[in-house]
Amino acid sequence: MSMSAGELSAILPLLIPALGACLLPLAALDKDQETVKWVRGAMFFMALFCLAGGFFYVTRLWATGAQPSYGALHMDRIGQYAGIFVMVAAALAVLQLWDHLHQEGWVKGETLSLLLFSVVGMILFASAGNLILLFLGLELLSVPLYALTATVRLRARAFEGGMKYFLTGAVAASCFLMGSVLLYGVTSSLDLAVIGRALGAPRPDPLALAGAALVLMGFLFKISAVPFHQWTPDVYEAAPHPISGFMSVATKGVAVLAFMRVLGAGVPAPGSLRIQSALAVVAMATLILGNLAALAQTNIKRMLAYSSISHAGYILLGLVAGTPAAYSGVLFYLLAYLAMNMGAFGILTALGLVGDRTTFDQVKGLGWKRPDLAIAVTLCMLSLAGIPPLAGFYGKYMIFKELILQGHVSMAVVGVLASLVSVYYYLRLPVALFLEKPSEKAEREAAERPAIKAPLAGAALLVCGVLVVAMGLFPGTVYKVFALRVVENAFHFVR
Amino acid sequence: MFLIFALITLLGALSVAFQKNLVVAGLCMVITFFGVAGLYLLLANPVAAALQIIVYSGAIVVLLLFVIMLLSAHEEEDAQSVHSVQRWGSVAAALALAAGVVKVVLSSGFLRGAASGPAPANMNLERVGTALFAEHLVAFEAVGLLLLAAMIGAVTLVKKDL
């Protein structure tokens, strides 16, 4: 069997990280104490190298405008966007992992291998054109994440979180599978476009609707929208900080992208009305509950987990509006979210807050010791809250504008109110960093601990801060180069 | 015939759910799988029936039983406290869900059409082969990656001197 150049270029963005993922465990076999330092360095370099290779390949595809496909695998603009998005997030996570794993004293190559497997699954998930690939992508991205959550197994909580994630994730995955079986049974096709047309018919079959509802549930679980969000804070708290950041950004982003592909694959007016009203209810509940629960948190990671739930709400609002402009707004928002959330989780590693020492009390006054990092994370926080000249503001602005143009004014008002509430809890971190004084006990303990060195995590955080400002200063360029092209080239309703 | 196989499947599944001894529950699962294989045979689909018996009753259940025996946790532990509200709530939710499913199935035009329509084409080994290695080649490779990832994940979590 031979393979054409187009088919090869469709599958290469998946093959490059997959190759790295398969080779890394072999490098991790070396147990020699003298060489272990070099092997570790080589493993992290290899992971970064694979991600960089994949990134440059996908950006080249993006620049040429080619949209190759291999069978049901469509490496079109959505797939390429997902590739760029996930590989940047993974590279930032690898940089932070180097420091975090050294702080925890648990540097294992398998962690990187699992991360790369998850990257492959994410790109597959977002570029899948039929139900089988969609499900396999979902599993290939989740299974490594279950293990990654529990990876630092010296901590008792890690196992608990991993188990929780695994059990809830397995239920969600089986719902997704049952839904796909129903859809396949009724439409006797695995192709998303055919299924979309069948669902968009004036009177769709109730069995197909039940299947669609189950599939929707699988997506909402990964986006961590409200009825399916309970796992999020516990899992993010249990996982290593960079992995929490990676999960919150990449899993959510890719689930949104795959969901957009499913929505965009068909679903004209009558069928989509039902889905839209369901989405609107979920989005409202997500916004309100996520923001209110975040107010009450004392742990930074749990606060960020609830904040990521509330951001799922904003993104879903964009999907409710459902116009091309709203879709490209969501795509811009995802890029902004990548930078600001990786930065927000990155401060924990950069300040060396290991294990459970992630409460607001622990960071009091630390901002004066590392002002550069603290300023970067403050920018990320302001951007998460949606303060004007930063990236997060423009994402929210695009989504709310489309909502109002589509006549959903009340939803836009709730969204704006929610982001006003969020200012309070986002500002708590900068306030703790700069304005509050550490207790004497904490100061004594800090003096006893060795000085924290986290150069790579610090660099990753600074990159995030720069990205947040750059996207805020030049939103138009980013919007035109990335977000708009996806919507123009990949969705049927615009053509 | 259909009733017999359907009853075997259902009773097997119920006893898996209610059996306290895990090994016996695993064996009941074999019965369920045999019932499903019988249903495939009734649909004039011997290949699917054979695959069901080889893969599920053979490989997967044996694997399951091995794991249960290696963990030597044969008996289910009693819950620390029984929440009767939760129990009745879950029963009510399950009943509501079952009623909903029955209603959906009964109101589905597709199922009525399928009963009177032509029988679907038979599955044979050749078609299974082309489906696996031509139509769904990417998916086949992705399954390989998935299994490898799951294996690495399991080793990472449990190996003593990693």
Question: Could you list the mean pLDDT of each consecutive 10-residue stretch along chain A, which spans 495 residues?
Answer: 83 93 86 82 93 94 88 89 95 93 86 95 93 94 94 84 93 94 89 82 82 91 90 92 94 92 61 76 92 91 93 91 85 93 92 82 84 92 90 91 89 91 92 85 76 86 92 88 81 49
Asked if residues A132 and B142 have their Cβ atoms less than 8 Å apart, the reply is no
Report the pLDDT value the prediction gives residue A1, as an integer from 0 to 100. Answer: 58
Mean pLDDT of chain B: 85
Report the pLDDT value the prediction gives residue A189, as an integer from 0 to 100. Answer: 87
Asked if residues A133 and A124 have their Cβ atoms less than 8 Å apart, the reply is yes
**Domain residue limits, chain A:** 5-490
Helix (H) or strand (E) holding A74: strand A73-74
Architecture of the domain delimited by B1-75: Up-down Bundle (1.20)
What does DSSP say about strands A69-70 and A73-74: parallel, antiparallel, or unpaired?
antiparallel
| Residue A424: C-alpha distances to residues A307, A348, B106 (Å) | 12, 20, 52
**Domain residue limits, chain B:** 1-75, 124-162
Mean pLDDT (whole number) for B65-89: 76
Listed as own residue / partner, the contacts of A477-485 with beta carbons closer than 8 Å and 24 or more positions apart are A478/A332, A478/A335, A479/A328, A479/A332, A479/A394, A479/A398, A482/A81, A482/A84, A482/A331, A482/A332, A482/A335, A483/A328, A483/A329, A483/A331, A483/A332, A483/A335, A484/A328, A485/A77
**Residues of B contacting chain A (CB within 8 angstroms):** 101, 104-105, 107-111, 135-139, 142-143, 145-146, 148-150, 152-157, 162
Report the pLDDT value the prediction gives residue A56, as an integer from 0 to 100. Answer: 94
Asked if residues A396 and A404 have their Cβ atoms less than 8 Å apart, the reply is no
Asked if residues A412 and A326 have their Cβ atoms less than 8 Å apart, the reply is no
Query: In this complex, is the C-beta atom of A125 within 8 Å of any C-beta atom belonging to chain B?
Result: no
A39 Cα distance to chain centroid:
29
Backbone angles phi, psi at A239, to 5 degrees: -75, 160
User: pLDDT confidence of B12, banded at 50, 70, 90?
Assistant: very high
Measure the CA–CA gap between A304 and A295, rounded to whole angstroms: 11
Give the chain B residue nearest A28 (alpha carbons).
B162
Count of residues making up chain A: 495
Report the pLDDT value the prediction gives residue B73, as an integer from 0 to 100. Answer: 66
Q: At what angle do helices A156-187 and A231-238 cross, to 10 degrees?
A: 130
DSSP-derived 3-state class of residue A188 = coil
Which of chain B's residues have a Cβ under 8 Å away from the Cβ of A108? Answer: 156, 162
Candidates A188, A183, A190; CA nearest to A207 is: A183
Which of chain B's residues have a Cβ under 8 Å away from the Cβ of A205? Answer: 108-110
| Residue B86: C-alpha distances to residues A106, A165, A327, B91, B92 (Å) | 40, 22, 41, 9, 10
Tokens 């950041």 correspond to: A245
Tokens 């602005």 correspond to: A397
Report the pLDDT value the prediction gives residue A269, as an integer from 0 to 100. Answer: 44
Measure the CA–CA gap between A233 and A241, rounded to whole angstroms: 12
Structure tokens at A257: 């992208």
What are the start-end ranges of the H helices in A229-323? 231-238, 241-246, 252-264, 269-295, 300-321
Measure the CA–CA gap between A42 and A24, rounded to whole angstroms: 10
Under an 8 A CB cutoff, do B138 and A70 touch? yes
Under an 8 A CB cutoff, do A136 and B152 touch? no
Under an 8 A CB cutoff, do A110 and B108 touch? no
Report the pLDDT value the prediction gives residue A494, as an integer from 0 to 100. Answer: 38
Measure the CA–CA gap between A329 and A475, rounded to whole angstroms: 11
Report the pLDDT value the prediction gives residue A69, as an integer from 0 to 100. Answer: 87
Measure the CA–CA gap between A241 and A97, rounded to whole angstroms: 8
Q: How far is A133 from chain B (nearest CA, A)?
A: 6
Asked if residues A212 and A179 have their Cβ atoms less than 8 Å apart, the reply is yes
Under an 8 A CB cutoff, do A206 and B107 touch? yes
Query: Which of B109, B137, B152 faces A114 most closely, judged by CB atoms?
Result: B152
Report the pLDDT value the prediction gives residue A105, as an integer from 0 to 100. Answer: 83
Evaluate if residue B48 carries a pLDDT over 60.
Answer: yes
A and B: number of Cβ contacts within 8 A: 89
Candidates B151, B153, B148, B145; CA nearest to A151 is: B153
What are the start-end ranges of the H helices in B43-162? 46-51, 61-71, 84-107, 109-116, 125-130, 137-158
Report the pLDDT value the prediction gives residue B77, as an integer from 0 to 100. Answer: 65
Which of chain A's residues have a Cβ under 8 Å away from the Cβ of B153? Answer: 114, 143-144, 146-148
Candidates A370, A373, A372, A347; CA nearest to A360 is: A347
Query: In this complex, is the C-beta atom of A113 within 8 Å of any C-beta atom belonging to chain B?
Result: yes
Report the pLDDT value the prediction gives residue B118, as an integer from 0 to 100. Answer: 66
Report the pLDDT value the prediction gives residue A401, as an integer from 0 to 100. Answer: 92
If you count DSSP H runs as helices and E runs as strands, how many of each does chain B have, helices first? 8, 0
Report the pLDDT value the prediction gives residue A6, as an integer from 0 to 100. Answer: 86
Query: Which of A21, A110, A207 faces B156 most closely, judged by CB atoms?
Result: A110
Q: How many CB atoms lie within 10 A of CB A69?
A: 17
Query: In this complex, is the C-beta atom of A456 within 8 Å of any C-beta atom belonging to chain B?
Result: no
Q: How far is B4 from chain A (nearest CA, A)?
A: 24
Q: How far is B151 from chain A (nearest CA, A)?
A: 10
Candidates A208, A34, A398, A447; CA nearest to B109 is: A208
Verdict on whether the full-model pTM lies above 0.90: yes
ipTM of this predicted complex? 0.91
Under an 8 A CB cutoff, do A132 and B139 touch? yes
Q: How far is B8 from chain A (nearest CA, A)?
A: 22
Under an 8 A CB cutoff, do B153 and A143 touch? yes
Measure the CA–CA gap between A453 and A175, rounded to whole angstroms: 45
What are the start-end ranges of the H helices in A351-408? 371-385, 391-405
Measure the CA–CA gap between A435 and A413, rounded to whole angstroms: 32
In order, the DSSP letters of A275-290 are HHHHHHHHHHHHHHHH
